Chain A
Amino acid sequence: MSNSRAKYLFLMPGVCWILAFTLFPLVYSFGLSLTNYRLGKNPKYIGFENYAEILGIGDEKVDKKAVSTASFSAFLFLGSTAATLIFGTFVAWVFNHNLPFLRQMRAIITMPLFAAPIALGWLGVVLFNEQSGPINNVLEGLGLGRVNWFIEPMPARFAVMFTDVWQWTPFVFIVVLAAMQSVPDDLYESARLDTKSNWVLFRSITFPMIAPALGTVMLLRMVESLKIIDIPYSLTRGGPGSVTQTYVYYAYEKGLVGSFQLGEAAALAYLMVVVAIVVSSIYFYRVRERFA
């Protein structure tokens, strides 16, 4: 068999799979977003009317719920990304010391990362429970008073964020730790002649050396934070009201629950696809050299 034919035979099954099950659905979804499709009714082509309705273009009023859910997604996009980066980097700094037992503890820290988010939402229901949950008990024990996690909007938003941060901090941790461990030791040794301050060492050596990995992990976290749906689904059901409903959760509800307004839901989802394409383009622009 000739070399040139073999090389395509290796690649083709995977390419065909993605074409059939990712690209085709995306095109289909775009077509759907241009219709008023509802389950059980004949769809009609309506052009970009769904988009106009969501964004409030022309004589349409802006979809208030799209805006409010998008703002909660933005809250997670900023808050969850920032918090996981800060905590993850701190934990990585702690574990980047040559001390006994750290290696064993490291494995335990990565555990939340692989737990099903839908299950972690339920775990949150137990932990954040207003009456008997351990979090409120600890807060009360510390004299900070109890928090109505599921009744008040802001605490509910933070409950979702904390659960997500707890799950994803280990991800930042293992990536940043890998980056820290690749910093050559002699850099530190020569710098220690000038300073004893850990903070100066971190700021002048560690941070610049791990910055590329931090950038990578930040972009990945941003993308993942926009996809959050499982945790609010089981933790808060989007409530109280819809203050903890994320944008994708709203699209899911619109298209796949109740009235099944698939056309509008597809348009909602497609706006998110545009955001995802922008972020992933930045990501691959940064890392594609590695794939050559």
Chain B
Amino acid sequence: MAAETNSLPLTAPQSPKARASFGDRLIVALAIICTFIAFSPFAYAILTSFKSQWKDGSIIPFVQFEPDLQNWQTEFGSGGPETFKALRNSTLISLGATLVATTLGTLAGYGLARFKYGVGNRNLVSWFLSQRFLPPVATLIPFVLMFRDLKLLDTLPGMVIVNATFTLPFAVLIMRDYFADLPPEMREAALVDGAGEFTTFLRIALPLARPALVASTLICFAFAWNEFLFASVLANRDWKPYPMLVAGSDTVRGIDFGFVTTRMLIAVTAPVILSLMVQRFIVRGLTFGAVKG
């Protein structure tokens, strides 16, 4: 509702003049140029993926453009088993990691929003988030040895652990912020009625936090889906996720642009679409709450 009313002035012309001023036109032109720069590489990739014979490029991609589905057929047809297996792996790993991260993040986020802890809540929140600041290599190196000893190399649980670990900060932050904004009277009323802390959390707070749960789930899923570095070392055979196929696109048959762009598009589709659904949580989620979106 709030979003609706906010958007009204954006579409309504600001000045009473019937014709847009020169300044306004300039701004719209600049906006179109920015949007073009952001989108044209994707558009170029889409066009390239429908070209099987790479002809010497021309400045306008439409010239000499005879679209065919050969790259897509190869990826899902003859290369299908490998593709589907990697996509299945990516899906299971991302879902598992999202489930773990969102569950732990929701519990911790609720605790941090509703209770006071001895060590200081802001220290605890910072501690949870600081993990995102570490260079991944620093934990990747010990993970190799730990996973070898625990027999977790190239397994689903191993990959879920890794991805849940680095998406957990997003979940904690998004959930804590949302719970902190809920009116405390609701919880207090439920407690007075005799409900325990967990009943109150499950029956009152959790249903109200559904938008944040959705946002946390989608952001965690998108980041886990894109993860390549850990996978490249910890899961390079049976549990290879899709980004590993993308990374190895050249070893299969040299660099074939149509083929490379096809894989690239398959890899980016899911997270890009998901991100479009959670626009209003992105700012807070990605700045760890420092800027309110």
Contact = CB atoms under 8 A, between A and B. Distances in A.
B87 interface: no
B78 interface: no
B96 interface: no
Nearest to B198: A6
A175 B286 contact: yes
A174 B293 contact: yes
Given A17-B164, A25-B143, A108-B38, A269 B111 contact: no
A195 interface: no
A275 to B, nearest CB: 8
A86 interface: no
Contacts of A171: 286
B16 interface: no
Given A26-B139, A107-B279, A122-B249, A216 B115 contact: no
B138 interface: yes
Q: Which secondary structure dominates where chain A touches chain B? A: helix
| Of A123, A125, A252, A268, most B-chain CB atoms within 10 Å | A123
A103 B173 CA distance: 26
Given A132-B56, A138-B59, A175 B291 contact: yes
Interface in B101-140: 103-105, 107-108, 110-112, 114-115, 117, 121-140
Contacts of A8: 111
A236 interface: no
A117 interface: yes
A179 B291 contact: yes
How many interface residues does chain B have, given as a range? 35 or more
B107 A13 contact: yes
Contact of A3 (B131, B197, B228): B197
Nearest to B56: A132
Given A32-B141, A132-B56, A280 B130 contact: yes
A98 interface: yes
Contacts of B142: 24-26, 28-29, 32, 266
A223 interface: yes
A290 B115 CA distance: 15
| Of B103, B132, B133, B261, most A-chain CB atoms within 10 Å | B133
Interface in A6-34: 6-11, 13-15, 17-18, 21-22, 24-26, 28-29, 32
Contacts of B35: 105, 108-109
B229 A95 contact: no
Interface string B251-293: 0000101001101100110011011100100110011111111
Contacts of B107: 9-11, 13-14
A134 B134 contact: no
A142 B228 CA distance: 37
Contact of A137 (B57, B124, B268): B57
Contacts of A98: 9-10, 12, 14
Contacts of A268: 137
Contact of B135 (A15, A94, A182, A227): A227
Contact of A223 (B105, B124, B133, B138): B133
Contacts of A169: 38
A256 B140 contact: yes
A109 B57 contact: no
Contacts of A226: 135
Interface string A127-167: 10101111001100100000000000000000000000010
6 contacts: A99-B14, A99-B24, A116-B225, A223-B133, A256-B140, A284-B130
Interface of A: 1, 3, 6-11, 13-15, 17-18, 21-22, 24-26, 28-29, 32, 91, 94-95, 97-103, 105, 107-120, 122-123, 125-127, 129, 131-134, 137-138, 141, 166, 169-171, 174-175, 178-179, 182, 213, 216-217, 220, 223, 226-227, 229-230, 233-234, 248, 251-252, 255-256, 262, 265-266, 268-270, 272-273, 276-277, 279-280, 283-284, 286-292
Interface of B: 7, 9-14, 20, 24, 27-28, 30-32, 34-35, 37-39, 41-42, 44-45, 48, 54, 56-59, 61, 100, 103-105, 107-108, 110-112, 114-115, 117, 121-146, 161-162, 164-165, 168, 172, 176, 196-198, 201, 222, 225-226, 228-229, 233, 243, 246-247, 249, 255, 257, 260-261, 263-264, 267-268, 271-272, 274-276, 279, 282-283, 286-293
Given A114-B268, A119-B263, A133-B57, 6 more contacts: A10-B115, A14-B168, A18-B165, A32-B145, A248-B135, A284-B129
